[in-house]
Amino acid sequence: MAHAPAAAARGVKHEAAQTRQFWPLALGAIGVVYGDIGTSPIYAFREAAVAATGEATVAHATVLGILSLIIWSLFLLVTLKYVFVLLRADFNGEGGTFALMALAQSVAQRSKHIILLLGVGGASFLYGDAAITPALSVISAVEGLKVIAPSFDKAVVPLSLAVLIGLFAMQRRGTAKVAALFGPIILLWFAIIGTIGIVCVAEEPRVLAALNPIHGATFLLHSGLIGFTVLGLVFLAVTGAEALYADLGHFSRKPIQAAWLVIALPALTINYMGQGALVLGNPGAIENPFFLMFPGWALWPVVLLTTVATVIASQAVITGAYSVTRQAIQLGLLPRLGIRHTSEEVAGQIYLPRVNSLLLLAVLLLVAVFKSSSALAAAYGVAVTATMITTSLMAFFVFWRLWRWPIWQSAALILPLFVIELVFFTANAIKILEGAWVPLVISIAIMLVMLTWIKGTSILNMIARKQDTTLDWLVHTLEKKPPHRVSGTAVFLTGNPQVAPSSLLHNLKHNHMLHERNIVLTIKTADVPRVSNSERVKIESLSDTFTGVTLAYGFMETPNVERGLQLCRKRGLNVDLAATSFFLSRRVLRPTSRSRMPRWQERLFIWLAGSAQDATTYFHIPAGRVVEIGTQIAV
């Protein structure tokens, strides 16, 4: 009984700590998670209304119909699917396409390959989104200058290119310090767009009728093919919803939900209504309703704030591309790429130079080719809707198999959302010739790279298995008839702890010697986002001179051999890195006429393998202690 007050006190302190963390996390979620969807009002309503009217006078029913479609898309796709349902489908606290894929695969039996394809497809489409979001967001913000003075028209593209180059150039410095400003700035953004929305709605309160979904349904039924085109542009209002789920591990479920329900959703809804109210009272405002909501004296600061907000929105997407790439590398879906940590405190703050360069090139080409937000808007949507569809399919499997919902209950929730997303996808697909092919091509190219890497590594593993020697047999043989011994410790890396490392075999074959102490090291990627240090190291004594060590890392972590071996000291294995040599096997691939892949895919895989970052750098192995032994393999 004496322990009860102490336990109660600890419980109260824990709740107080959670409360203290809740609001900072919610503020951070406003800045990072909702930056993309929060800047959609700049262009979403305008593009949909212009498509419906051809810049002619906008009918009252058309305004209410478009607003109704936007508002109910926010309610159903964002609020219901992501905020209330998918945020509960976390994998050890993490979210996103690969986390959902891992959840589904954990209970899959015969459908693992299908789920893998869905996961690869969903992740690939995210890259299409990552390329077009910065281009569309920044150019739409800079276009606000044309509202101040039409003469700024020629400066829009050069200024947009300059902003984007500056944005991508700052990535190498890290976003840890800048991220601290994201929340307050986007909070200010939501406060301003919500306030101006209230002012406009107060002048035209009849716009509140758009809350009735019948207006949206009536518009679609009576507008024919034009309505279908408009629907594709209405989807611009919900782009960025995937960030809700992808950033789950950074902010946790309740702060993300609170930030959406209390701040983002009300501000977005009232701003869209404000734009509709403005157009009802002044049909000419359809040219740029977002900026024309503001009085003339406020345009300069609003354009500046809009540009900053779109840069933040773009930053969130770029960071997301880095995170997805790291997860893909850890899961064996992409070759090793250089990863730099830009913060000692925040593990998620990373920078991938190659991904950054490729994204910058794609974004600059998009701005230079399309030249306006209206043209870019036509290219937007296909990749995002495709990602949502793959997410819904995997979510259905999780609800049915993992959560053990009845199949009718899983279908009752997912099927209506899937149909809505399919309609949105079709509506966006009809814009393929207008530019929607761009993110589609990017996504398909990434998908082909991932599938090629998966197939190529599978073939390499098959070839390696034919030449395998079991580690137990080799250790027994060497202990029975030992070769010449040299002082120190040797570490041999292997992908399979049951098989003798090829670097060990080649070292024996060519050097005819063995160290006094030998460690067979395996680096394993676990099916969880992160592995605690207490579970990271597994040590097994193989003989008097051989020790097996396994270092486990989650698919959201970057392996670090140096730190991993330091953890071994707590388990009784003291490794002096200054007296240790690391033996790595470097495989040189060459084409063959008997390849199991088409010629183009074989060449692509060889190029990918050659462009991969070397194991020394990627696994953080002390460079001065590495011995590489090369082998040639025909694929």
pLDDT at 635: 67
pLDDT at 3: 46
For residue 101, count CB atoms less than 10 angstroms from its CB and return exposed for 0-12, middle for 13-18, buried for 19 or more. buried
Question: What is the DSSP secondary structure assignment for residue 470, as one 8-state letter?
Answer: B
Residue 537 three-state SS: strand
How many of the other CB atoms lie within 10 Å of CB of 160?
A: 28
Q: How far is the C-alpha of 196 from the C-alpha of 270, rounded, in Å?
A: 9
Q: Model-level pTM? A: 0.81
Cβ 539 vs Cβ 547: under 8 Å: yes
Q: How far is the C-alpha of 474 from the C-alpha of 293, rounded, in Å?
A: 77
pLDDT at 57: 67
pLDDT at 83: 93
Tokens of 183: 């929340």
Tokens of 208: 């509140």
Question: pLDDT averaged over consecutive 10-residue blocks of the chain (635 residues)?
Answer: 43 46 84 88 91 75 94 94 90 82 82 88 87 87 84 87 89 64 90 97 95 94 86 89 80 90 96 95 89 92 91 81 84 86 61 90 90 82 88 92 91 93 89 83 91 91 78 88 88 87 85 88 84 89 90 86 88 85 83 83 90 85 82 70
Distance from the Cα of residue 422 to its chain's centroid? 22
- Domains of the chain are 21-447 (1.20.1740.10), 467-634 (no CATH)
pLDDT digits (tens, 9 = 90+) for 175-189: 555 556 788 999 999
pLDDT digits (tens, 9 = 90+) for 114-161: 999 999 998 898 888 888 888 888 898 888 888 888 888 888 899 999
Question: What is the DSSP secondary structure assignment for residue 559, as one 8-state letter?
Answer: -
Buried b (16+ CB within 10 A) or exposed e, 470-484: ebeebbeebeeeeee
Residue found under tokens 């190529």? 456
Task: Report the sign of the C-alpha dihedral through residues 412, 413, 419, 422, in that order.
Answer: negative
pLDDT digits (tens, 9 = 90+) for 553-576: 987 788 899 889 888 888 888 888
